[in-house]
Amino acid sequence: MPNLPPFMEIADHQQPAWPIQVSVVPRVPEGLESLRNIAFNLWWSWNYDALELFCELDAELWETCGHSPIKMLRLVKQNRLEAAAKDKGYRERVEKVHDRLEAYLHRKETWFTRNLPKEKKDSPLVAYFSAEFGFHESLPNYSGGLGILAGDHCKSASDLGLPFVAVGLLYRFGYFSQKINRDGWQEASAIDNVFQDLPIREALASDGKTPVVVELAMPGRAVRAKAWEVRIGLTRLILMDTDLTENAPEDRRITYQLYGGDHEMRIQQEIVLGIGGVRALAAMGLQPSVFHMNEGHAAFLGLERIHRLVKRRNFRLSRRCNRWRPAVSLRLTPPCPPGTMRFHRS
């Protein structure tokens, strides 16, 4: 059970149930296959015509599913899909939206290619690290302004055609839902993210076949973290997840909750984000030229970067630090004690 604020409790029925139960999923009929491609790219979330496709399929279910296309395609009745497949007008709208998505993804001219034509062939990849990302309610992996800012950066990078990859954590329990009871007190309940209802796929290694799982050294043990991938237009978002059966129960909880737990849990999350994220990118064959940290939660990426540079060539540490320094940037909100995490050296 994750460490939650004092006012939050997770009911027994909300506890993770393993192994995952197998459910029967409707078959998307011929003529509507493009719906699934649209659903797995969050480009749909800022394109009204794409939103309408799912709402029109079953307006009531669309609301029940929290506006999640992936969940909707899992729960929609087969006869609804069959009826939509027989509707020529609906099929044409699906293909029109899908064509727009493909055209967007394969643009030959973007802001980046117009303004930095010399960099076109050997683009300097930017890696953007953040503890949270807010794109849409169907991917509850954020808490507030920091996540929305990170999400907007990803969307803007896609629109501009920037060579850009983002890295974060995939939380089993994202944010919580709230209500006010009859006594005027806030009641909160955790949202148990069912991964099969999220627009995520396994991140693959550079061979295009092997799922990316990295190993991290924690005090007295090794922790494994799996990488998942989300597409936001052209932007790739890599999310690290320790909720794996091969990890000890306490290590599976590392990625349970955004900003959850005590100082020890928080520093473990930052190790998974900073060190695990850099290792995942390397396993995928991605070699960023610039690393950007959205707040200090990914500070360990600096140590991992220096370690990899020193290991690759037998240069002095000071020389490596000087070489690495221009390749990293950090965005901080105005520092104040309540918003700053401090960790004892021990």
Digit-coded pLDDT (tens) for 64-85: 999 999 999 999 999 999 999 9
pLDDT value for 332: 53
Residue 272 to residue 264: CA distance in whole angstroms: 13
pLDDT tens per residue, range 228-260:
999 999 999 999 999 999 999 999 999 998 887
Domain ranges of the chain: 26-105, 111-334
- In this structure, the chain runs to a length of 346
pLDDT value for 177: 76
- CA dihedral (226, 144, 157, 124) in degrees, to 10, reads -50
pLDDT confidence bin for 9, thresholds 50/70/90 = very low
Q: Which residue has the higher pLDDT, 12 or 275?
A: 275
Average confidence (pLDDT) over 196-203: 95
In 160-275, beta strands by DSSP E: 164-169, 173-180, 186-192, 201-202, 213-218, 221-232, 235-241
The structure tokens 């009641």 sit at 187
pLDDT value for 3: 45
Extract the tokens encoding 113. Answer: 């290619």
pTM of the model: 0.84
Name the CATH superfamily, with its identifier, for domain 111-334. Answer: Glycogen Phosphorylase B; (3.40.50.2000)
Phi-psi region of 29 (alpha: psi -120 to 50; beta: other; left: phi over 0): beta
Extract the tokens encoding 21. Answer: 């139960």
Question: Nearest 5°: phi and psi at 155?
Answer: -65, -45
Is residue 334 reached through a cis peptide bond, with omega within 30 degrees of 0 on the bond before it?
no
Among 313, 48, 2, 314, smallest CA distance to 172 is for: 2
Residues 6+ away with beta carbon under 8 Å from 158: 43, 164, 232, 233, 234, 235
pLDDT value for 335: 61
Average confidence (pLDDT) over 172-182: 82
260 within 8 A of 268, measured Cβ to Cβ? no
Residue 176 to residue 95: CA distance in whole angstroms: 36
